[in-house]
């Protein structure tokens, strides 16, 4: 038996919740939101620290509090939600197969919003040699055990990677009575937001070792220690700088990967730079009627931004359902020198368009230059640029000449 819906939203984290509510408000009646966990809210449920909602609600909420606002909106809008359900297949024809305790379900929809979020990179992604004992956790998994399951993974921690989750976990572990020997970052600058460096490390006297990495893991059954070393300017280990630190747990906070296995199988084109789908300004992928929002698109650093953009994607999907069609992309948007990535990667219609991008290294007094072909359409000076901080700029594109390339550069 095949079920039919106007709109399917895959993933009930902050992006999926916001997109579903926005689509409902824009007039879509028949929405199905699918979530693999038993409750809605996604990763926010384990983020029990505060700092969420400052932009939208002008107050500092915890992750569960922030999520609850949108969960209630979903419930009030009477949106059908299937929790404990994992989508195992998506096709270009907007058909899915979903599995839950009631069995396998085949559902097709007029439009689909992808909001599957991201997953953590693992030890293999950073190639740490050594033994394979117990006591190696990714930061998010450790956060899950500590905050949701009341299980403490260890006593003495080394954290590799200074992304936001690693920083938040350094503070959480300290608060829970564990010792954090240090946070290691192979780059010369931290990977997380400046406010987290202050609030999570400096306020707790946790050392941050820049230009350091873990080169070996020791211990047969449980981690007994790690070797750390300095990293040279080209990313190699500096000889003679290796030393051994005794610890019982290694926490990895070495990056996030947008979760696009379903997208790939459906034939959705991905951007190598973001790891997410190539989208236009409405969040539409290369398959008309399939949209993407949230961390599945690119990894955000602030949930408020993600919410606002997911809402816009929800509205765009509603328009598509009403019109039965959408515009095709006309222009490409590219990351030029000094820029890590830009989203959206395509523009379909003229007007004011918001570009989100990250620089690839920190800098001061830099010009952001946006060009359309050879013509500079925007130029803005930034006192400080920092890769962990997403930059958003609006450009006005009153008319689009097909084939033209919009390029963002750092000068």
Partner 1 sequence: MDYDVIIVGGGVVGCAIARELSRYRLNLLLLDKEHDVARGASGRNSGVVHSGVQVPPGSLKAKLNIAGSKQFPKLCRELGVPWRRVGKLIVAQHKSELAKLTQMLGTGKKSGIADLKLLDKPQLKQLEPHINGIAALYSQGEAIFSPYMLNIALAENAKQNGVHIKLNTRVVGIKRLENKFKLATDNGSYTSRYVVNSAGVWADKLAQMAGITGYRIYPCRGEYRVLDKACAKMINSMVYPVPVAGYGGLGIHLTPTIDGNILIGPSAEYVKGREDYRTTGPVLNKLYREALQLLPAIDRRDFIAAYAGIRSKLCRPGSSRFTDFMICEEPKLKGFINLVGIESPGLSAAPAIAKHVGKLIAKGLKLAPNPDFNPRRKVETRLDNLSGELVCRCEQVTRREVLAAINNPLGASSLSAIKYRCRAGMGRCQGGYCLPRIVDMLRETSNEEITFHGPGSHMFIGATKELLKCS
What is the binding site for partner 1 (CB under 8 A)?
36, 84, 86, 88, 99-101, 103-104, 119-120, 122-125, 127, 129-135, 138, 140-141, 144-155, 176-177, 215-216, 220-222, 248, 261, 264
Phi-psi region of 312 (alpha: psi -120 to 50; beta: other; left: phi over 0): alpha
Residue number, 43 or 79, with CB nearest to partner 1: 43
Q: Would you call the peptide bond into 80 cis, given omega within 30 degrees of 0 as the criterion?
A: no
Helix axes 63-76, 14-25, angle to 10 degrees: 30
Smallest gap from residue 293 Cβ to partner 1 (A): 20
Residue number, 130 or 289, with CB nearest to partner 1: 130
The CA-based angle 394-399-403, given to 5 degrees, is 95
Residue number, 264 or 322, with CB nearest to partner 1: 264
Smallest gap from residue 124 Cβ to partner 1 (A): 5
Residue number, 131 or 392, with CB nearest to partner 1: 131
Residue number, 221 or 374, with CB nearest to partner 1: 221
Smallest gap from residue 247 Cβ to partner 1 (A): 13
Q: What whole-number distance in Å separates Cα of residue 190 and Cα of residue 208?
A: 8
Q: What whole-number distance in Å separates Cα of residue 344 and Cα of residue 128?
A: 34
Smallest gap from residue 161 Cβ to partner 1 (A): 14
Residue number, 115 or 215, with CB nearest to partner 1: 215
Listed residue (75, 89, 82, 79) closest to 38, CA to CA: 82
Residue number, 99 or 245, with CB nearest to partner 1: 99
Residue number, 61 or 214, with CB nearest to partner 1: 214
Residue number, 146 or 268, with CB nearest to partner 1: 146
Q: What whole-number distance in Å separates Cα of residue 29 and Cα of residue 20?
A: 11
CB hemisphere CA count around 218 (13 angstroms): 11
Listed residue (180, 182, 175, 173) closest to 152, CA to CA: 173
Contacts for 117 with CB less than 8 Å, ≥ 6 apart: 11, 13, 15, 42, 43, 258, 259, 294, 295, 296
Q: Cβ distance 266 to 91 under 8 Å?
A: yes
Smallest gap from residue 128 Cβ to partner 1 (A): 9
Smallest gap from residue 137 Cβ to partner 1 (A): 9
Smallest gap from residue 220 Cβ to partner 1 (A): 7
Residue number, 30 or 360, with CB nearest to partner 1: 360
Listed residue (267, 255, 282) closest to 347, CA to CA: 282
Listed residue (294, 363, 395, 236) closest to 14, CA to CA: 294
CB hemisphere CA count around 28 (13 angstroms): 33
Contacts for 157 with CB less than 8 Å, ≥ 6 apart: 170, 173, 178, 179, 180, 181, 247, 248, 249, 250, 251
Q: What whole-number distance in Å separates Cα of residue 170 and Cα of residue 196?
A: 10
Smallest gap from residue 115 Cβ to partner 1 (A): 16
Smallest gap from residue 260 Cβ to partner 1 (A): 11
Beta bridge partners of 87: 98
Smallest gap from residue 364 Cβ to partner 1 (A): 32
């Amino acid at each position: 038996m095949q079920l039919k819906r106007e709109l399917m939203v895959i993933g009930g984290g902050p992006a999926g919740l916001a997109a579903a509510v926005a689509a409902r408000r824009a007039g879509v009646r028949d929405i199905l939101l699918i979530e693999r966990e038993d409750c809605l809210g996604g990763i926010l449920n384990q983020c029990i620290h505060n700092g969420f909602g400052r932009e939208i609600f002008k107050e500092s909420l915890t992750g569960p509090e922030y999520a609850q606002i949108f969960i209630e909106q979903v419930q009030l809008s009477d949106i059908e939600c299937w929790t404990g359900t994992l989508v195992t297949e998506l096709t270009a024809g907007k058909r899915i197969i979903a599995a839950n305790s009631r069995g396998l379900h085949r559902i097709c929809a007029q439009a689909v919003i992808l909001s599957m979020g991201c997953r953590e990179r693992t030890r293999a992604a950073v190639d740490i040699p050594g033994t394979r004992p117990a006591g190696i956790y990714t930061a998010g998994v450790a956060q899950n055990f500590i905050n949701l399951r009341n299980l403490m993974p260890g006593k003495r921690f080394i954290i590799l990677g200074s992304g936001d989750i690693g920083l938040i976990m350094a503070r959480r572990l300290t608060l829970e009575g564990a010792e954090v020997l240090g946070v290691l970052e192979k780059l010369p600058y931290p990977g997380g937001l400046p406010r987290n460096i202050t609030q999570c490390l400096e306020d707790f006297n946790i050392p941050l070792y820049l230009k350091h990495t873990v080169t070996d893991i020791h211990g047969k059954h449980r981690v007994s220690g790690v070797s750390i070393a300095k990293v040279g300017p080209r990313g190699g280990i500096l000889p003679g700088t290796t030393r051994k630190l005794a610890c019982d747990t290694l926490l990895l906070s070495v990056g996030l990967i947008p979760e696009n296995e379903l997208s790939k199988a459906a034939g959705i084109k991905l951007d190598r730079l973001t790891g997410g789908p190539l989208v236009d300004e409405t969040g539409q992928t290369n398959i008309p009627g399939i949209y993407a929002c949230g961390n599945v698109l690119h990894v955000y650093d602030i949930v408020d931004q993600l919410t606002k953009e997911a809402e816009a994607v929800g509205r765009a999907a509603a328009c598509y359902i009403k019109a039965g069609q959408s515009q095709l992309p006309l222009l490409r948007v590219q990351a030029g020198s000094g820029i890590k990535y830009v989203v959206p990667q395509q523009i379909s219609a003229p007007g004011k368009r918001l570009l989100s991008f990250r620089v690839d290294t920190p800098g001061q007094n830099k010009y952001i230059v946006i060009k359309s072909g050879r013509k500079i359409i925007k130029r803005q000076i930034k006192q400080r640029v920092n890769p962990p901080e997403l930059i958003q700029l609006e450009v006005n594109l009153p008319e689009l000449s097909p084939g033209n390339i919009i390029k963002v550069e750092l000068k």
